[in-house]
Structure 1
Amino acid sequence: MTRREPRVLVAYGTKNGSTGEIAVRVAGVLTEAGYATTVRPAGEVAESLSAYDAVVLGGALYAGRWHRDARRFARRARRAPGTRPVWLFSSGPLDGSASDRDIPPVPGVRRIADRLDAREHVAFGGRLDESARGRLARMIVRSGKGGDFRDFTAITAWAERIAHDLATVRARREEA
């Protein structure tokens, strides 16, 4: 029997690209760990999730809600046949709070985590700069509250934990 690389989908919903950059880092770590990893905007994932052994889903937070594409993807994932491990991340706090402490998921993301039986949810700081789309976003930047609050060391460490968890799941399956 030929052993194939486990396939992982990293999907994300983003407005200004910051969450996508986090997803790319997560996918890079998983690829380096030996997983066949696909990273795509959640709104562009058309194939069946049955093609994947695991899913990482991220969403940008705006006014306490996950990006629409991430929410829609989660609904579709809930209806997908089969079970696969799922990890969730949010990006959005525009301060150092995500690096200082664990931030619980907002209520809508908590419901998604429960429905998908997610193994973990983590919040990372976001980024908002002069290129941000939307009137409110530009106002926040002009008021001096923008910036890049992402902690790529923490993002990498989280992705490494996912890789470790996937290796453990794989080893158990091979023993059975």
Structure 2
Amino acid sequence: MTAVLVAHAGKSGGTREIAEVIAAELREAGLTAELLDAAEVDDVEAYGAVIVGSALYRRRWRPEAVRLLAEHEEALRNRPVWLFHSGPCGPLAAGKRISLPAGVALLAARIDAERTATFGGRLTPATAKGLFWKIMAAGPWAGDFRDWALIRSWARDVGHRVRIRVTL
């Protein structure tokens, strides 16, 4: 059975919740999915495929997700890799595609990662950390803009592609 690493990086738990749903969908597809915080990943050799997700803060990926890609670049070149980020909030979040930050885009190109998926984020007064985010969470950017149907569909597609690309 193919093992898939689903690594996530964020501050308030919204990206972790997306990663949990992705891992559950992969398990439904008959794959073994291990969910880890990106900061806890020591090795990727045991996995036939890797998914890395990061929250976007001011169009930047979390450092622990970038570190995972950089430290394991050589090993990631030898397996299929999918990336996702979450973060667009507000009235225009639905369907908004955000490019990877330049440094992450370079790493993604070097490991030949699949096209990055953008998922809406979650920003609420209860989960906002820091004065800037608390102010943002009091305005029109507040709410949960994650499209669970889209996330599940993307995860099912990734699961299908893992089964095709990786020898079971």
Between the aligned residues of both structures, percent identity stands at: 38
Distance 1:56 1:149 in 2: 21
Q: Distance in 2 between matches of 1:96 and 1:83?
A: 39
The worse-fitting range, judged by mean Cα deviation, of 108-117 and 55-64 is 108-117
Q: Which moved more, 1:95-104 or 1:31-40?
A: 95-104
For residues 101 and 81 of structure 1, the distance between their equivalents in structure 2, rounded to whole angstroms, comes to 27
Following TM superposition, by how much is the alpha carbon of 1:85 offset from its aligned partner in structure 2, in angstroms?
A: 0.3
Q: Aligned residue for 2:17? A: 21
Runs of 4+ in 1 over 6 A off after TM superposition: none
Residue 114 of structure 1, CA deviation: 0.8
Write out per-residue CA displacement over residues 29-68 of structure 1, whole angstroms, 9 at most, x where no aligned residue.
001101111011100122x211100000000001111011
CA RMSD between the two structures: 1.8
Where do residues 24-39 of structure 1 align in structure 2 (5 Å cutoff)? 24-39=20-35
1:50-91 Cα offsets, whole Å, 9 max, x none, are 110000000000111101111111112203376010000010
- What's the secondary structure of 1:99's corresponding residue? coil
2:100 matches 1:105: yes
TM-score (norm 2): 0.91
Q: Rg larger in 1 or in 2?
A: 1
Q: After superposition, where does 1:34-73 map in structure 2 within 5 Å?
A: 34-46=30-42, 48-73=43-68
Matches within 5 A, 1:90-101: 90-101=85-96
Q: Deviations over 1:86-105 (max 9, x none)?
A: 00001000135453354333
Alignment match, 1:145: 141
Q: Which runs of 5+ in 2 are unaligned?
A: none
Aligned-partner Cα distance in 1 for 2:59–2:78:
28
Which sections of structure 1, spanning at least 5 residues, go unmatched? none
The SS at the match of 2:72 is helix
> For the residues of structure 1 that align with 2:15 and 2:80, how far apart are their CA atoms?
21
Q: Flag the 1:82–1:105 CA change in 2: closer, same or farther, 3 A.
A: closer
Question: What residue is the counterpart of 1:168 in the other structure?
Answer: 164
Report the number of matched residues. Answer: 167
Q: For residue 162 of structure 1, report the CA deviation from its aligned partner.
A: 0.5
Asked if the contact 2:77–2:112 (Cα under 8 Å) also holds between the matched residues in 1, the reply is no
**Greater helix percent: which structure?**
1
TM-score normalised by the chain length of structure 1 = 0.87
